[in-house]
Amino acid sequence: MDPQSRIEAHLSLLFTRAATPSGPPLLQAAMRHAVFPGGARVRARLTLAVAYACGDDAPSVADAAASAIELLHCASLVHDDMPCFDDADTRRGRPAVHRAYGEPLALLTGDALIVLAFQALAEGGAKAPRRLASMMAAVAGAVGVPRGIVAGQAWECEPLADLSAYQQAKTGALFAAATIAGAAAAGADPHPWRALGESLGEAYQVADDLLDAVSSEADTDKPVGRDAALDRPSAVRAYGIQGALALLESLTKAAADSIPDCQGAAPLRALIAQEARRLVPKSLSHAAA
Amino acid sequence: MDPQSRIEAHLSLLFTRAATPSGPPLLQAAMRHAVFPGGARVRARLTLAVAYACGDDAPSVADAAASAIELLHCASLVHDDMPCFDDADTRRGRPAVHRAYGEPLALLTGDALIVLAFQALAEGGAKAPRRLASMMAAVAGAVGVPRGIVAGQAWECEPLADLSAYQQAKTGALFAAATIAGAAAAGADPHPWRALGESLGEAYQVADDLLDAVSSEADTDKPVGRDAALDRPSAVRAYGIQGALALLESLTKAAADSIPDCQGAAPLRALIAQEARRLVPKSLSHAAA
């Protein structure tokens, strides 16, 4: 099964088990709305790619790690879209959860997806208890305080925020968890994999800032120009378009260079080069060439 | 160390590790506001009491389980108090988190406390990996869908909700997790301990309904008369004061009777009898005698 199909199949399995007739139907529908259909599942694919590079000797454990990472990403989007943050109307071309189901259920949807992520880890990791603790620590650290995505979002509420700390927490942390958990799921030493996740996370954030700055709403499935409108830190606002493009290139190079020696290093490097091309917004690809 | 001091000490330790100078200061302050000073720490004390009854051979694992349960309870209070649910001004005699720190930080505080709970489990459980998976499953199941506290809160958003399913999810689930996780933390078979948690959880919910119905604001540290005002299901609204008192008595008896054979069964039974007396609102203690 290709990685994308593996991810969709495992997420569906989790929902089949968790969302039962005895549970509250509207909450369960809102949770599905937040997760299906998904985006590119970039973080989950990264988890599986690293597990594969490390031998993938326990695929169900890697599936659990990948799903957990993806569910936490979806949870953060649901809460970020709420009126007290971005007040976004749409997400992935459809109404945001709080628009489709109301604010109370959007709040609970985020909570329930966070919990489902840990439930997935617990189930998958029960077959490999020693790996479970390591995956749990990586994943929980990537979401909580002081340096996870929740902390990253909280920097938006602080009077003084450092661009790098903010982006590292808001985006980089979950990418780092994806690589660390992928390695841990396959029984490899996870620490050498942190740098790959951190570089890729920063690259995706810079790519997102570029997309926000140069796209029209027709090109992308989310609102654009939000960083300037909401006075959020952004690589484009800090360094300009050309500076951000140069930063993106150096980050994807650092990512490829950081891959530890392992049996699947070469295909992983090729995958990253492919992603790096995809990250440059189409309207800028001549400038980056 | 007595159980209450053990709980406070372990919660403080978790905050010392998680809330660092590199993290967002307002979020970290809001998280402390939500957890300290606490209430009676009933669920965490129950976790430790069961671990103790089962031999408590790994106290740091039991501490982690107790703190996780307490943090999840605090997280649910922060989110329940928000404007889109109860819109409560105060909690434990102080401003609710959303009043003290604003809605965005209250939302993130709940998220961060959920994550910290799983982080605590991961840290404590790393010393006993086989117990970790069992504790994780119990705790995650008590919070998520289809039957955890988040699902319980979601029943308030559904047009039709069954009183027993609602209370079981909203209160009973975390009490059941407290007894199951306490037993698992001490290496005992957790399943026979579910009934104790479920009975006690239902008893606490009925006691809470009685308190809401018969107290004045001066007697308690939370707003009263909320169930009727918010048209929420309540044992008093369903069965009347005397009916609710009789239900409370039968539930605490069922709790004591459910305790499995173990070395610490007798002191645990005494503790439950003591709690049962504390649960009856003072103004009704003559009626229940």
Instruction: Look at A159 and B244; give whichever has higher pLDDT.
Output: B244
Flag whether residue A23 sits within 8 Å of chain B, measured between CB atoms. Answer: yes
Q: What is the pLDDT of residues A50-60, one digit of tens each?
A: 999 999 999 99
Q: CATH for B3-288?
A: 1.10.600.10
Query: For position B222, what pLDDT does the model report?
Result: 63
Quick one: average pLDDT of A74-93?
Answer: 96
Contact residues for A264 (Cβ-Cβ < 8 A; gap 6+): A52, A53, A54, A55
In percent, how much of chain A has pLDDT > 70?
Answer: 95
Q: Could you give the CA distance from residue B68 to residue B120 in angstroms, rounded to a whole number?
A: 6
Query: For position A46, what pLDDT does the model report?
Result: 96
Mutate: best of B33, B78, B150, partner A, most A CBs <10 A:
B150
Cis peptide before A146 (omega within 30 of 0): yes
Contacts of A146 in chain B (CB under 8 A): 18-20, 22-24, 28
Whether B113 contacts B123, CB under 8 Å: no
User: What angle (nearest 5°) sits at the alpha carbon of residue A151, between those of residues A146 and A152?
Assistant: 125
Query: For position A286, what pLDDT does the model report?
Result: 74
pLDDT greater than 90 at residue A283: no
Query: For position B243, what pLDDT does the model report?
Result: 95
Who among B19, B75, B121 is closest to A145 (CB)?
B19
- Burial class, A82, CB count within 10 angstroms (exposed 0-12 / middle 13-18 / buried 19+): buried
Flag whether residue B118 sits within 8 Å of chain A, measured between CB atoms. Answer: yes
Q: Could you give the CA distance from residue A194 to residue A103 in angstroms, rounded to a whole number?
A: 36
Query: For position A1, what pLDDT does the model report?
Result: 83
Who among B105, B132, B154 is closest to A108 (CB)?
B154
Among B256, B89, B86, B134, residue whose Cα is nearest residue A129 = B134
Whether the pTM exceeds 0.95: the reply is: no
**Given pLDDT bands bounded at 50, 70 and 90, which one contains residue B69?**
very high
Q: Could you give the CA distance from residue B113 to residue A145 in angstroms, rounded to a whole number?
A: 9
pLDDT greater than 60 at residue A37: yes
Chain A residue closest in CA terms to B127 = A133
**Given pLDDT bands bounded at 50, 70 and 90, which one contains residue B228?**
confident
Q: What is the pLDDT of residues B79-131, one digit of tens each?
A: 999 999 999 999 999 999 999 999 999 999 999 999 999 999 999 999 898 89
Query: For position A225, what pLDDT does the model report?
Result: 75
| Per-residue tokens: A78 | 């649901």
pLDDT greater than 60 at residue B289: no
Query: For position A218, what pLDDT does the model report?
Result: 58
Query: For position B256, what pLDDT does the model report?
Result: 95
Q: Could you give the CA distance from residue B207 to residue B193 in angstroms, rounded to a whole number?
A: 22
Q: Could you give the CA distance from residue B13 to residue B22 in angstroms, rounded to a whole number?
A: 17
Q: Is B206 helix (H, G, I), strand (E, B) or coil?
A: helix
Flag whether residue A129 sits within 8 Å of chain B, measured between CB atoms. Answer: yes
Quick one: average pLDDT of B14-42?
Answer: 94
Provide the terminal-to-terminal Cα distance of chain A, rounded to the nearest Å.
Answer: 34
If residue B94 lies in a helix (H) or strand (E), which one and from where to where? strand B94-95
DSSP state of B26: H
Residue-range domain boundaries for chain B:
3-288
CB contact under 8 A, A154 and B27: yes
pLDDT greater than 90 at residue B253: yes
Question: Crossing angle for the helix pair A129-143 and A173-185, nearest 10 degrees?
Answer: 180
Among B111, B45, B168, B276, residue whose Cα is nearest residue A115 = B111
Q: What is the pLDDT of residues B131-155, one digit of tens each?
A: 998 999 999 999 999 999 999 999 9
Q: Is B90 helix (H, G, I), strand (E, B) or coil?
A: strand
Length of chain A, please?
Answer: 289
pLDDT greater than 80 at residue A222: no
> What is the DSSP track for A74-129?
HHHHHHHTSTTTT--SEETTEE-HHHHH-HHHHHHHHHHHHHHHHHHHHHHHTTSH
Query: For position B159, what pLDDT does the model report?
Result: 82
Mean pLDDT of chain A: 91
Mean pLDDT of chain B: 91
pLDDT greater than 90 at residue B9: yes
Contacts of B105 in chain A (CB under 8 A): 154, 157
